[in-house]
Structure formats: structure tokens, C-alpha cells
Amino acid sequence: MKKRVLILCGLLLCAYQASSQTYEVKSPNGRIQIKVNNSNKISWSASLNGNLIIENAEAGMDFSSKTNFGLNPKVKKQTVKSVSQNIHAVVPIKESEIKDEYTELSITYQGNYKLNFRAYNDGVAYQFVDEAKEKRNVISEKVSLSFPNGSRSLFPQEESMYSHNERLYLDKSLNEIASKDFCSLPVLFTTPKAKVLFTETALHDYPGLFLKGNGNTTLNAIFPKYVLEAVDKDGKSDRVQTITKEADYIAKTSGNRAFPWRVFIISDDDRTLVSSNLSYQLAAPNALKNTDWIKPGKVAWDWYNDNNIYGVDFKAGLNTETYKYFIDFAAANKVEYVILDEGWTKSTTNILDFNPAMDVKELIRYGKEKGVGIILWVLWKPLDQNLLHILETYKSWGAKGIKIDYMQRNDQYMVNSYEQIARECAKLELLVDFHGAFKPAGLHRMYPNVLNYEGVRGNENNKWSTDITPEHTVTIPFIRMAAGPMDFTPGSMINKQPKNFAISFNNPMTMGTRAHQVAMYVVYEAPLQMMCESPSTYYKEQETVDFITQIPTVWDKTVVLHGSVGNYIVVARKKGDKWFIGGMTDADARELSIDLSFLGEGNFSMEVFSDGINAEAFAQDYKKEIVEVNKNTEVTAKMASGGGWSAIITKK
């Protein structure tokens, strides 16, 4: 009898939904709910614990011909399914095995398209799928997001869509974001009941999304137009272009395809913004059969420190002797790679030949002899003009990868260029680091040889600005890093408190303590992780180097212990049988308790790198100690202003 009642209730519910064209779906734990309404348009909302977080959002797409998605939508059918599976990460940025669990509502519409909504325990996402097979142009996409009154944003405001997407996060009420103001992704919203991190993934053959204000609590998507012509700025630039002709559409499409996922991490706990894998989970799966050759690791990097080698008997600079010194340092400290940054090529446009003072083939040979791989920096524009030949040439020399710079766009052509570079490099077994880039948008899962992206205001900005404050460095893990790997380039050994900081292009320094920089190696996710300081300085700070080089760049498991956007963060990560903890704070000194219950049974040795007693005055002061702990030990991470705390835990 009970079973019949349940079936009848289900039939009544289906009849109600068919009449009202309103559908609901909940996350596996029931905390997050999506409601989709179909009337003269498609609108949706998301709630957390019954509190409306995203309201009256709209989704649609306009095309040059045939059916426009979301215009007077007519539902043909809808299905709901629950999925629980594991994703094996080829390059484990947070963890090697990812629990992929969600409830999916799939709505098929007349006009050969459907809309998939997924509800996860840590957020929601949606994606349009075109099931027609017709060539046409995408005129625009409707992504309209409305938030409750009183909502704010940490807004990475842009001046132009032609941008490196390296922004500060402006704290603004949504009512302050005018119609002329727009931002790149990811972007964070704070509602009265939860935070929402908005980004996109599975971005293929389509332009990247920007979000503009309206002077109220609603924001709308805008996109770069399809580029018809781009020329060198002033007819002579090697890296900056002027877009002279644009189409009246944003993309060309041949139909029968899925469009990018619109991703919303939703939580009332800031730690979720760091622990979430949604961008990776929703990305296209690995396309490579053989991935054994992909080796993450650390990189000794030259450009930040301006090749400032000292205490040697040769003139430092862009020459073979200097880079052999870099290679010797990397080999002595088990650093996997050295980058040859700007200056190794004969010119910035002639990238098939090298600077006469640098024997690049000899450096690659020497590096191989020492067990150190060489990665070559290139400008995107000349690379794009002769991609295959240039890549094949670098491979024939023995290079291990490339670092591509100055893309500065994310229109459809540029998005396709990223994928072409990743694909062709994979064929040649070359690693990829996208610098001067837009945020990660899933390509690194499809092509795991893509190990890193910039798209962040990182340490290099210390060479010309005062922007990289401790507040900034404890903001980006919650926003930019939610999209994927982050080439912030940590590792400075010249550390100052803000009152002692000075801008120096040739001898840069960082704000915050030494322990703050060291903690970045645990907190910041970057499978290809830079060591930005001069090897000569590192040799003088060998104790710090010895600690840093023990820290992996990929992880089996991640646990976020503490987190408050722009204030502090403490992350524990496991690799093999060791645990690593990294903590960072803003300008406020803090003491945070560290719960070691994740250790399990047994006794452990904990090597700690923390702020020294005088770090408030002399930021390079640190303390290193080894203590015995177990899962019940009470540990406190004491951090100075702009400080940090790190630990390496080994079972005894």
C-alpha cells in the first residue's frame, strides 16, 4: 500500500512539472537545490540550506540562423540521474582520486538542443548542448546572474578584453559595479548567506566569458567578438596586437557540440573554495593514451632575479656560463627544470635561432648530463605563425617543454590556439606553461602536459609595483586558484615588511616574511612550480632551500584546515606517506590551531619552518625545528604580520 502511494505522488509531481515547466534537482547531500523554470525564457535559481543564493538567473544563446536557445522554450523531455564515480587525475593538482558525485537534470527542448544542470555538494553547473548539425554563428550568449540584496564581490576588474587577466580583487557592493565595469573570471560573490565562485570550464572552440555590472544586483556575460584581423601594434611590435576588424558574432560553430560549463562553487565555508575540484571534474577527460613522460616538478627561473649571479669568476647575464650555473644549482638541489626565459633567442621574433652568447644545444646537453630538463620561453605571436616547425625544432634540440607568453586574448581563435599548442606539444612529448594567459578552463585535464597557467597577479609584479601584499596572497587561493593551476612564481629570499619594501626591477623583494614565501609551496597549486630567486642567493639560504625542495608539486590528498578569504589559510596535503602543511596570514599576526587527526595512528616527526621571533621587524627571520607529534598532539601555528608556517610530517 505504501509503495502505491509513493508512485501516485510521483505521478502527481510529474504532472505538475509538465504543466508548469518547472523542475528541481538537489545535490547528493540535499543542501544545494536548483530550480529551473521554462516560460518565455529559461531561468533558474540556486539555494543553499533553503536560502536563495542565485536568483532569477537566465540562460540562452542567440544564433545567426535556426533555433535560438532559451527563446520560448518547449520541453520535449527531462531526465534526472544520480552519478557517483571516481576520476583519476593524471597530474594530481589536489588529489590523485577525485570523488565525482552529483545529480543531473537534463532537459531536452524542441529545436534540437538540451540544457544540463548538475547539483554537486559544493556547487552547481550548467551547459548547453547543440544536437543539430548545422553551420552557423553564435551572435551572443545570455548569462544573467542575480544575487540577493546586500551582496558584494571581490571583482577582478578589467579595462579591456585584450588583457593578461592579472588583476587585483576590488571589494565592491554589486550596486557599485556600473554598466561600464566588467571583469574576467573567476570572480567571487558574497551573499548574506554564502559565497559563490563563478568560473567556466570545458572551454573549447568558443570565446572566454567576461562579466559586466548594471549598477544593481544583476550581472551579465559579455564576450570578445570573433577576430577577423589583428595587426602588430604600430606595425612593429613583437607581442602586442591591435584588433582592427571584428565580426558581429562571437563564434563560428558547426553544431552537434557541447558548449562550456558555467560553474558556481557555492558554500558558507570559505575552505570549500580551495578544496573544490568542480572546474576539473567538469572538464573534458584526458585525451592522451601515454602520459608516463609527463613529469611535474620545480623550476629554477631566471627572469625574476634578472640573472643576478654573483660570487663567480664570469660576467653574469644572457650567456652560456650563467645558465650552466643555473643548471648546476638545479642539479645540486634536485630541482627538475631550468627555464631559459626572454633573451635566449636571436631576437624575440626569430625564435628558431639562439642568442650568439648562449649555446642552447650545449645547455640542453649539459642539463641532460646533470639530470635537469630545459624549458624554453617563446612569444605566442611568432610561435603561432610557424607552430609545427618551431615545436619540432625545439624537440630535436632536446627541450622538455615551452613557456608561451603574451597571448592576452581569449576570443575563439585564441582559445583554439591554446588547444592546438597543447595537442601538438603532447604529440612531441613537450610540457606547456601558459604565461600571459587567461585563467585555466579545463584544458589541463584534457591535455595533462599543460602543467601551469599564469593569469594571476604574481610575484613578478614586485619588480614594478606594491600590489603583492599579504592580503593579496591570501586572497588568490580562494578565487584564482579555484579555476586551476596558478603560476604565481614563489620563492623570494629577499623578504620585507611593508614599511621596508621598495620597488626594484633588477633586485626585487617581496612583502611578508620568509615563512610566508615558503608556505606558498604547499598552499599554491602549480605542478610546474617556480623557484624565482637567484641561485647565488639560494646558496646563501641553503637551509630554506633544503626545506622547499622537499615539498612536492602534485598531491595525493588535500585537506583545508583553516580558510578566510583575504585573511588566512592553512592547507594540509599528502604525497606518498608524508604530510605537508602550509599556513599564511595577511597583515594581522595570528595563532591558529592545527588539528592533526588526519595523521592516523602512530608517531611522527614534524619538521617546522615558522616565523622567527623578530619577523615583525626583520621579515627574513625564521625558526626551524623538529618535534615529535601524533594525531592527538596540540599544535599552534604562530604567524607574524604577513607571516607563514609550514611543516613536513614523516611517520617514524
On whether both 202 and 312 belong to a single domain, the answer is: no
User: What is the value of pTM for the model shown?
Assistant: 0.96
Closest to 69 in 3D by CA, of 145, 142, 146, 125: 142
Burial of 429 from C-beta contacts in 10 A (0-12 / 13-18 / 19+): middle
Count of C-beta atoms within a 10 Å radius of residue 588: 14
For residue 230, pLDDT beyond 70: yes
**Single residue among 567, 585, 603 that ends a domain in this structure:** 585
Shared domain for 318 and 260, answered yes or no, is no
- Give the per-residue pLDDT at 426: 98
Q: Is residue 642 part of a domain?
A: no
**Residue 87 to residue 278: CA distance in whole angstroms:** 12
Asked if residue 156 belongs to a domain, the reply is yes
Residues 313 and 360 in one domain: yes
Task: Give the model's confidence band at 20: pLDDT under 50 very low, under 70 low, under 90 confident, else very high.
Answer: low
pLDDT classification of 3: cutoffs 50, 70, 90: very low
- Mark which of 559, 585, 611 sits at the end of a domain: 585
pLDDT tens track for 316-368: 999 999 999 999 999 999 999 999 999 999 998 899 999 999 999 999 999 99
Query: Residues 460, 471, 487, 586: which is the catalytic one?
Result: 460
First CA to last CA across the chain, in angstroms? 60
Q: Do residues 165 and 218 both lie within one domain?
A: yes
Length of the chain: 652
Distance of alpha carbon 51 from alpha carbon 100, whole angstroms:
25
The DSSP output letter for 616 is T
The DSSP symbol for 428 reads T
Identify the pLDDT of residue 237: 85
Pair 471, 564 in one domain: yes
The CATH number assigned to the domain holding 88 equals 2.70.98.10
Same domain, 219 and 313: no
- Same domain, yes or no, for 261 and 350? no
Three-state secondary structure call for residue 80: strand
Nearest Cα residue to 198 out of 145, 263, 271: 263
Q: Does residue 186 have a cis bond before it (omega within 30 degrees)?
A: yes
Active-site residue, from 405, 411, 454, 471 = 405
573 and 445 share a domain?
A: yes
The whole-number average pLDDT for the span 148-168 is 97
Total domains, the chain: 2
- Are residue 390 and residue 491 in the same domain, yes or no? yes
pLDDT greater than 80 at residue 8: no
Q: Does residue 7 lie within any of the structural domains?
A: no
> 187 and 315: one domain?
no
What is the Cα–Cα distance from 444 to 177, expressed in whole angstroms?
Answer: 32
Say yes or no: 192 and 340 in one domain: no
The CA-CA-CA angle for residues 111, 117, 120, to 5°, reads: 170
Percent of the chain at pLDDT above 70? Answer: 97
Domain annotation covers residue 651: no
Respond yes or no: is residue 460 known to be catalytic. Answer: yes
Average pLDDT along the chain:
95
| In a domain? residue 57 | yes
Query: Whole-angstrom Cα distance, residue 556 to residue 579?
Result: 10
10 Å Cβ neighbour count for 447?
A: 24
pLDDT of 582-619, one tens digit each? Answer: 999 999 999 999 999 999 999 999 999 999 999 999 99
Identify whether the C-beta of residue 391 lies closer than 8 Å to the C-beta of residue 402.
Answer: yes
Average pLDDT over residues 90-97: 98
> What CATH number should be reported for the domain holding residue 498?
3.20.20.70
Q: Is residue 360 part of a domain?
A: yes
pLDDT tens digit sequence for 39-50: 999 999 999 999
Among residues 457, 473, 482, the alpha carbon closest in space to that of 582 is found at 473
pLDDT at 224: 98
Is the pLDDT reported for residue 182 higher than 70? yes
State the DSSP string of 39-51: SSSEEEEEEETTE
499 is a domain residue: yes
Q: In terms of residue numbers, what domain contains 126?
A: 20-224+252-281
Q: Looking at residue 235, what is its pLDDT?
A: 72
